């Protein structure tokens, strides 16, 4: 499908969108607003209150900002598609959406890794914590978390951008790695490069997270009840978010690997799980489980009442 030398791809992952067009739009628009408001509220609370200007809360704010950016890479196009007669996207824009999708996904994992290291230093090396987790260190961790995935994914984005397509129908409601099945010839270089990126952004950080939490568990297991309680209070939300994000990654792999023989309705529901569920999970967990943030949220709600 070519128009003025621009190739368009049809997004074919929607189910009976004609009948429930406005219902889908209202649900998705409402969810998008809730995602922005819930994440932004906690970020503002962390920014406003001086007692929350600590590395742990700064990483939480960065994680929530990343959730908003991730949602913004997907939702506006979804809302336009729901109201459109034809759900299409230009090939360059589709590749750009895929780039943002995996960049912010990789950033989230690296942010979770930085948060894990912060908890490791706080619990296992408390006397050295102020010297290790300085403002400069936090700034470097944040910069690496956002720049490393983008820098590693950008070369593959350029390599794929001009590849010829033989299929113009994508079985999904947004662009991810399933776009590779549309190419006439599969690249041999890109899969190898993708594995390297996966190792750097996902596998190695995951091994580091397992190592640090194992060390935390060993140290706190032999400590007093107060130390165990403090460790559980600060580490449990991170673990819950990490588990949630791991399921999110599994969804993405399942959707791509089983794309050809997966029922369309199940495909649509699983994709919505990724889009709707995960960006809301972070503010709920940190707003409920983190004591200092929860107290400020309660004060804010009481003031509004």
Q: What is the pTM of this model?
A: 0.87
Domain boundaries, the chain: 2-304
Fold of 2-304: Rhopdopsin 7-helix transmembrane proteins (1.20.1070)
pLDDT tens, position by position, 7-59: 776 776 565 666 777 887 888 899 899 999 999 999 999 999 888 889 989 99
pLDDT at 267: 67
Q: Strand 169-170 to strand 6-11: parallel, antiparallel, or no bridges (unpaired)?
A: parallel
pLDDT at 4: 42
Alpha-carbon distance of 117 to 213, in angstroms, equals: 9
pLDDT tens, position by position, 122-168: 888 888 999 999 999 999 999 999 999 999 988 888 878 777 877 77
pLDDT at 87 over 50: yes
Alpha-carbon distance of 102 to 97, in angstroms, equals: 9
Read off the pLDDT band of 259 (50, 70, 90).
Answer: low
CA distances in angstroms from 259 to 35, 170, 181, 256, 274, listed in the order given = 28, 10, 10, 5, 16
Closest C-alpha among 202, 237, 244 to residue 113: 202
pLDDT tens, position by position, 124-135: 888 899 999 999
pLDDT at 1: 46
Highest mean pLDDT: which of 87-91, 121-125, 142-146, 250-254? 142-146
Q: Find the helix or strand (DSSP H, E) in which 88 lies.
A: strand 88-90
Q: Judge whether 78 and 173 are in contact, CB under 8 Å.
A: yes
pLDDT at 220: 81
pLDDT at 234: 76
pLDDT at 186 over 90: no
pLDDT at 149: 92
Mean pLDDT, range 249-262, rounded to an integer:
63
Closest C-alpha among 55, 46, 24, 220 to residue 131: 55
- Share in percent of the chain as helix, strand, coil (round to 5): 80, 5, 15
pLDDT at 63: 92
Question: Average per-residue pLDDT in the chain?
Answer: 81
User: Which conformational region is residue 180 in: left (phi greater than 0), alpha (psi within -120 to 50 degrees), or beta?
Assistant: alpha
Alpha-carbon distance of 74 to 103, in angstroms, equals: 13
């Amino acid at each position: 499908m070519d128009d003025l030398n621009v190739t368009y791809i049809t997004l074919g992952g929607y189910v009976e969108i004609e009948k429930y067009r406005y219902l889908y739009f209202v649900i998705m628009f409402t969810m998008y607003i809730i995602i922005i408001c819930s994440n932004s509220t906690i970020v503002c609370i962390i920014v406003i209150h001086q007692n929350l200007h600590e590395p742990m809360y700064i990483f939480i704010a960065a994680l929530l900002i990343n959730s908003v950016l991730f949602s913004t890479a997907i939702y506006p196009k979804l809302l336009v598609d729901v109201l459109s007669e034809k759900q299409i996207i230009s090939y360059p824009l589709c590749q750009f959406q895929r780039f943002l999708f995996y960049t912010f996904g990789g950033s989230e994992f690296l942010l979770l890794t930085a948060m894990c290291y912060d908890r490791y230093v706080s619990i296992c090396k408390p006397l050295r914590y102020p010297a290790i987790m300085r403002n400069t260190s936090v700034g470097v961790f944040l910069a690496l978390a956002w720049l490393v995935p983008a820098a590693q994914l950008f070369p593959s984005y350029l390599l794929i951008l001009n590849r010829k397509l033989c299929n113009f129908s994508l079985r999904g409601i947004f662009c991810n790695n399933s776009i590779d099945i549309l190419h006439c010839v599969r690249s041999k270089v890109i899969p190898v490069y993708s594995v390297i990126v996966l190792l750097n952004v996902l596998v190695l950080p995951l091994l580091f997270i397992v190592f640090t939490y194992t060390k935390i568990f060993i140290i706190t297991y032999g400590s007093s009840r107060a130390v165990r309680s403090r460790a559980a209070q600060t580490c449990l939300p991170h673990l819950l978010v990490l588990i949630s994000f791991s399921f999110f990654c599994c969804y993405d792999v399942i959707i791509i690997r089983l794309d050809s023989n997966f029922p369309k309705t199940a495909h649509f529901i699983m994709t919505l799980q990724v889009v709707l569920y995960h960006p809301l999970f972070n503010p709920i967990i940190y707003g409920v489980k983190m004591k200092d943030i929860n107290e400020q949220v309660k004060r804010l709600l009481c003031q509004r009442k």
